[in-house]
């Protein structure tokens, strides 16, 4: 990637966003990671090292996002990976939790892009994170499935509206070594693994590699890319 500004990773203090940040920082890229808490975000940025800095913003407060991003200069890549997981079902519907997650993943993600819209470099690209709960629900995934489905459609309108910028989405399956899953009982992970044609769960390195491919390849646009070892096939 040429040096045309920073890569902004919203939700870069943990998990998949952090993994992408670590790889890009290791290549000498200028990286801005965000999390909700300034001190934690700065501390993670220091751990990642290189030309990484932290910036605090809360996607659940979309009216504040533009102000938080005011200090960002030219952006050559934007990755939005943030999530606050929620457990919701339609029979026990928690409106407050649903409103919060929908605000974060649909309005918050959109507002970040809106706020940065005039600062993208030529050839810049955007990668959004959805997830395969959109196609394979699990108990309590009603809101998660809904917002991830929203991400899958959002990339289409954004790729058209923001052209010639490219906009794509990653939809991870169960990423076995991610903080969200690595502490689960082994039998839970094993149930998913045996349904995966590759015989292994996708890992964080697989996802980060796919994000970088989407950021760099100049002809991939409006794509929803599953990273799941073929899990949906069985």
Q: Name which of residues 186 to 215 contact ligand NAP (CB under 6 A).
A: none
Q: Rounded to whole angstroms, what are the CA distances from 226 to 132, 193, 223?
A: 7, 16, 10
Binds ligand NAP (CB under 6 A): choice among 179, 182, 184, 188:
179
- Say whether residue 84 binds ligand NAP (CB under 6 A): yes
E strands, the chain, are 6-10, 30-35, 51-56, 75-80, 120-129, 166-172, 224-227
Closer residue to ligand NAP (CB): 1 or 181: 181
Size of the site for ligand NAP (CB under 6 A): 29
Tell whether residue 14 is a contact of ligand NAP (CB under 6 A). yes
Contact 89, 142 (CB under 8 A): yes
Q: 99 near 147, Cβ under 8 Å? A: no
Q: Which of 5, 6, 16, 225 binds ligand NAP (CB under 6 A)?
A: 16
Interaction of residue 69 with ligand NAP, rule CB under 6 A: no
Cβ proximity to ligand NAP: between 150 and 222 the closer is 150
Two tokens at 17? 């966003």
- The DSSP symbol for 13 reads S
Where do contacts with ligand NAP occur on this chain (CB under 6 A)? 11-17, 35-37, 40, 57-60, 81-84, 104, 129, 131, 172, 174-175, 178-181
């Amino acid at each position: 990637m040429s040096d045309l500004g920073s890569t902004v990773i919203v939700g870069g203090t943990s998990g998949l966003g952090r993994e992408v940040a670590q790889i890009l920082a290791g290549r000498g890229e200028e990286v801005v990671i965000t999390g909700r808490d300034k001190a934690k975000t700065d501390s993670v940025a220091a751990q990642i090292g290189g030309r990484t800095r932290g910036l605090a913003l809360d996607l659940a407060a979309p009216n504040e996002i533009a102000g938080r991003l005011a200090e960002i200069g030219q952006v050559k890549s934007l990755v939005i990976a943030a999530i606050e997981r929620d457990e919701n079902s339609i029979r026990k519907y928690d409106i407050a939790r649903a409103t919060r997650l929908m605000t974060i993943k649909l309005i918050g993600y959109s507002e970040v892009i809106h706020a940065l819209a005039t600062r993208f470099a030529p050839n810049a690209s955007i990668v959004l994170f959805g997830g395969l709960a959109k196609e394979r629900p699990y108990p309590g995934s009603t809101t998660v499935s809904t917002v991830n489905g929203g991400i899958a459609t959002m990339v289409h309108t954004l790729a058209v509206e923001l052209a010639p910028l490219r906009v794509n989405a990653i939809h991870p399956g169960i990423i076995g070594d991610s903080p969200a899953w690595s502490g689960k009982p082994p039998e839970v992970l094993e149930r998913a693994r045996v349904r995966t044609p590759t015989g292994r769960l996708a890992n964080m390195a697989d996802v980060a590699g796919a994000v970088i491919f989407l950021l760099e390849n100049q002809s991939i646009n409006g794509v929803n890319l599953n990273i799941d070892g073929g899990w949906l096939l069985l």
